[in-house]
Structure 1
């Protein structure tokens, strides 16, 4: 089978298409014939060595497809079942093996490419809005990079929770995308200072929570827009990692909360993964949440996909099609 391999950490050019033996599912595992694999910033962090991986490794965490074979002891799935997964290894491949409790069933009527595209970002948005900072009706939240894949999901789920959403984006085209997803106000940070605009939009009160996937260029300024006892949710660093801060800053800015969550701590339990996935798939099926696939690229163009994602030139999800 074809798969992407990384033998040395580095730029997109280290992503090489290779031929590998077809993996055999072990006890409790199943083999998925992938219909699509999602491309995410965490893949870039692993490729560059920012999140070190044993070398060589085969990248990719999320995908969807059909069960091709099952190992001994698998009771939940059979060949032909449609499934998706958010935290496998070696998803950039034609086939992927993983434990049965790390996959979820994809309901009839939901496209497998859409399921693959929704897994990491959709479950992340669910965890952020329902658990990390559980939005309450009437809350006001600020969402950075609101036109990206995760940002669009966050806007929609925040609205489902009853929030007023202030979004930041870099271009007018992305502003239109954020508005289409339900954002109540959009700030072009390339044109306006988001701190001043957020204060104006909230009458000086500030927001209950900031959802920040951008990192270095937005993080410290975000504390300026939080209201007393507000929550800073840092869940990415597309502009670079943030510098350390003193806990005294949280005191000085109004007894603030700071958290740096990982999705995988919010889906570690199989029942929790299943429950979040059921919500996500139901909302995608009935239209309460929608997802834009920016483009689909063949597996051999994984390097180009990484370049596109890192450039922040996309609006929506990038998929690799094996």
Structure 2
């Protein structure tokens, strides 16, 4: 019987159990995938801890993976057994085998291995909607990306640089600063040691940035707003340090008629044609070599509790991939 990680109650990493699970045949519009690589993301911690609620308990965490199709359900025309596929916005990925809706899956092109695909779907598609859809980064833009050495950060800074932007990144340690510089950051700010808003003002000659991408949350708000030029866009797409609890819309007026948005990947990929276009854009920049997907940590699925502890403790950079 296939194995999976199951969460029976919300809590710390220790609530994740490695158990046998029954995996049924795919229903209409579904496919069954035998996974070879599973991506790990901060959102997995939010679901495990109960910050985000799963539809029911127990549940299997995880949103991202890659593998081979082993069976297709009624009405599925785009996939057949043996096809290599990947996905980045489906629940239940921490498993050896999954049954998922075919409309949420994309074929993996030649030249991209399964590990890279699993490491880049959620983080890469997130980067795609941030840089190409939420605010269209253009040559000459100056942008600020928080947690620039994280999983999304390292993809985003490379891609933004490729698009012609001046990229400012914040990181927590000197080692992460070196990594961020090697991956597209023109300027790196150690946010624990420096006032990042003051440094951004200095770097931009007082002008501020066109856009701030903030996946950190509580620890960087409201200072992120002070990094923006008039009419700039504050993009809050995660809460690694805890959620922003007292968002004051009046600050947007005071700080320069700013815009703010809280997008999610799930909304963007809700439309199949949009998902296909986003994936095509992502695969093309990766295959061209313009964006490299850094997998820095590899682990076994059974070791998911330790993986979560390291991720939450800011011990990781780049992507973490688990194998069944």
TM-score normalised to the size of structure 2?
0.97
What runs of 5+ residues in structure 1 fail to find an aligned partner?
none
Q: Secondary structure at the match of 1:249?
A: helix
**Partner of residue 169 from structure 2, selected from 153, 159, 167:** 167
Q: Distance in 2 between matches of 1:100 and 1:146?
A: 33
1:246 positional shift: 2.5
TM-score normalised to the size of structure 1?
0.98
1:20 positional shift: 1.1
Determine the structure 2 residue equivalent to 1:44: 45
**Partner of residue 291 from structure 1, selected from 290, 293, 308:** 293
Q: Does 1:115 align with 2:121?
A: no
Determine the structure 1 residue equivalent to 2:29: 28
- Report if the CA contact (8 A) 2:23-2:99 is conserved: no
1:76 positional shift: 0.4
Per mean C-alpha deviation after superposition, the further-off stretch among 310-319 and 153-162 is 153-162
1:172 positional shift: 1.3
What is the correspondence of 1:63-212 to structure 2 with a 5 Å cutoff?
Answer: 63-212=65-214
Determine the structure 1 residue equivalent to 2:19: 18
Q: Distance in 2 between matches of 1:318 and 1:182?
A: 20
1:276 positional shift: 0.9
Q: Distance in 2 between matches of 1:271 and 1:222?
A: 33
Offset from partner CA, 1:129-150 (integer Å, 9 cap, x none): 1111111221100111000010
Offset from partner CA, 1:121-165 (integer Å, 9 cap, x none): 000001001111111221100111000010111111212222111
1:73 positional shift: 1.2
1:89 positional shift: 1.9
**Partner of residue 270 from structure 1, selected from 261, 269, 272:** 272
Q: Distance in 1 between matches of 2:247 and 2:110?
A: 48
Determine the structure 1 residue equivalent to 2:246: 244
Q: Secondary structure at the match of 2:269?
A: coil
What runs of 5+ residues in structure 2 fail to find an aligned partner?
none
1:270 positional shift: 0.8
Determine the structure 2 residue equivalent to 1:219: 221
Q: Distance in 1 between matches of 2:274 and 2:49?
A: 31
Q: Distance in 1 between matches of 2:24 and 2:160?
A: 40
Displaced runs of 4 or more, over 3 A: none
CA RMSD of superposed structures (Å): 0.9
